[in-house]
């Protein structure tokens, strides 16, 4: 039996003083290889990004409400509340997403606004 494939031998921690990587017999002669024995998988939470709408004097309120319903899955009531917040305060939060999702939503908003010749601006910013 090829000792490099012995699941019982490979299951435990390396013996004290064992070389890093396991150091199976036959190592280096092309007849053996190391198995991946790392059990504690390191994970990292993805960074999150706020997508914000900016106020302007020309984009129709109804268009902003439509944008919030269509791209940010907001109800008519939520969308109206966010739109009015942006109208009054100058900036407002549409949602929080991972990088690629936020990037896509900004692009969708800007593309539709441009095609309707509205100056609506949408930006993303990293959360701390």
Listed in sequence order, the DSSP H helices in the chain are: 7-11, 61-72, 76-89, 99-115
Nearest CB to ligand TYC, comparing residues 3 and 93? 93
The pair of three-digit structure tokens given for residue 1, joined into one six-digit string: 């039996």
C-alpha 92/C-alpha 122 separation (Å) is 10
Sheet holding 121-126, edge to edge: 91-97, 49-54, 121-126
Q: Which of residues 98-127 bind ligand TYC (CB under 6 A)?
A: 120
Cα radius of gyration (the chain): 27
Distances (CA, A) of 100 to 13, 48, 111: 39, 10, 16
Nearest CB to ligand TYC, comparing residues 102 and 120? 120
Nearest CB to ligand TYC, comparing residues 24 and 82? 82
Q: Which of residues 57-96 bind ligand TYC (CB under 6 A)?
A: 57, 59-61, 64, 83, 86-87
The distance of closest approach from Cβ of residue 39 to ligand TYC in the complex, given in angstroms and rounded to an integer, is: 49
The distance of closest approach from Cβ of residue 126 to ligand TYC in the complex, given in angstroms and rounded to an integer, is: 21
Q: Which of residues 2-41 bind ligand TYC (CB under 6 A)?
A: none
Binding mask 43-62 for ligand TYC (x = CB under 6 A): ----------xxxxx-xxx-
| 2 within 8 A of 32, measured Cβ to Cβ | yes
Q: Which residues here bind ligand TYC, judged by CB under 6 A?
A: 53-57, 59-61, 64, 83, 86-87, 120
């Amino acid at each position: 039996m090829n000792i490099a494939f012995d699941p019982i031998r490979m299951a435990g921690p390396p013996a004290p003083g064992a070389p890093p990587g396991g150091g199976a017999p036959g190592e280096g002669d092309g007849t053996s290889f190391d198995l991946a024995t790392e059990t504690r998988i390191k994970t990292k939470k993805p960074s999150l990004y706020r997508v914000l709408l900016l106020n302007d004097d020309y984009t129709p309120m109804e268009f902003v409400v439509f944008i919030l319903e269509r791209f940010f899955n907001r109800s008519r009531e939520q969308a109206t509340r966010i739109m009015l917040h942006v109208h009054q305060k100058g900036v407002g939060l549409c949602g929080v997403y991972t990088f690629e999702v936020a990037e896509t939503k900004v692009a969708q908003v800007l593309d539709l606004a441009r095609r309707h010749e509205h100056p609506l601006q949408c930006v993303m910013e990293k959360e701390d």
